[in-house]
Amino acid sequence: MARVSVEYKDHIAHVTLTRGDKMNALDDAMVKAIISAGQEVAASDARAVVLSGEGKSFCAGLDLMSFAQMGQVDPEAWLMERSHVDANEMQEVSMIWRRVPVPVIAVLHGACYGGGLQLALGADIRIAAPDTKLAVMEMKWGIVPDMGGMVLLPKLLRSDVLRQLTYTARPVSAQQAERWGLVTQLAEDPLAVAQDLASEIASKGPNAIRAAKRLIEFAEAGTDRAEVLLQESAEQVALIGKPEQMEVIAAQMQGRKPVFK
């Protein structure tokens, strides 16, 4: 059974978790399918990505059988290997979406717990239905967030909020998550809002959008100020006066949509 589907339409990649009968819980096959989907999209000419889940929930976290299997493996051999650049396979479930060179919009509904939350954190933007519940769930099972959460969460949350969520494993409402910065926006129809936003992004200069994502990632890495300023200039030099930018300017002056080749 396929765990993830990838469809392309109007320069947008629609990536859907398709294990809805299991609340899109993460088993080994799902982990590998998510990473594979991210790698495929990264190599495509998509200009934006909408990441969503079928069924009642976006992703309820690790499959219960996965917890049972933890006692049967050597955790050091399983987790310490850097199999995907700077990440292990479990971390790549979220980090692959930061490696995808275009904006990724996650559509959240139902349960978004543990590994499912960390998957969502890999997206650039998170649009949530009002009934979504979110949790840093790992402490419930006697472990800590280890799927990229400690790279991504501190960029979104105050330290005290991060600590409370991590220490308690307590689910929070989408409304509270939005107030804390864990969710970008609430919407009654988050998929429609995400698709509209993806269409808007896809209408911008593709090279400029990719440059913007690279630049934001570079700046958020805590790099020295002088290096960020230099990187700003380098990215801009690669855009100014090029055919894409000239088309953007011409379209603005002529009151039409730009056409990118």
Q: Are residues 58 and 166 in the same domain?
A: yes
Are 7 and 13 contacting, i.e. CB atoms less than 8 angstroms apart? yes
Q: What are phi and psi of 142, to 5 degrees?
A: 80, 25
Residue 259 belongs to some domain of the structure: no
pLDDT at 65: 76
- CATH number reported for the structural domain that contains residue 219 in this entry: 1.10.12
Kindly tell me the burial class for residue 2, based on how many C-beta atoms sit within 10 Å of its own C-beta (0-12, 13-18, 19 or more).
exposed
Whether residue 68 is predicted with pLDDT greater than 70 in this model: the reply is no
Q: What are phi and psi of 8, to 5 degrees?
A: -115, 135
Q: Are residues 53 and 111 in the same domain?
A: yes
Structure tokens of 143? Answer: 């472990």
Residue at which a domain ends, from 165, 183, 201 = 201
Percent of the chain residues topping a pLDDT of 90: 91
User: Whole domain around residue 111: which residue ranges?
Assistant: 4-201
Are 61 and 115 contacting, i.e. CB atoms less than 8 angstroms apart? yes
Question: For the segment 98-131, what is each residue's pLDDT rounded down to a tens digit?
Answer: 999 999 999 999 999 999 999 999 999 999 999 9
pLDDT at 251: 97
Question: For the segment 20-29, what is each residue's pLDDT rounded down to a tens digit?
Answer: 999 999 999 9
Question: For the segment 154-212, what is each residue's pLDDT rounded down to a tens digit?
Answer: 999 999 999 999 999 999 999 999 999 999 999 999 999 999 999 999 999 999 999 99
pLDDT at 261: 84
pLDDT at 8: 98
Q: Are residues 86 and 211 in the same domain?
A: no
pLDDT at 1: 67
Residue 261 belongs to some domain of the structure: no
Q: How confident is the model at residue 2 (pLDDT cuts 50, 70, 90)?
A: confident
Number of domains the chain is built from:
2
Whether residue 223 is predicted with pLDDT greater than 90 in this model: the reply is no
pLDDT at 82: 92
How far, rounded to the nearest angstrom, does the alpha carbon of residue 197 sit from its chain's CA centroid?
A: 15
Q: Are residues 178 and 209 in the same domain?
A: no
pLDDT at 67: 65
Q: Are residues 105 and 220 in the same domain?
A: no
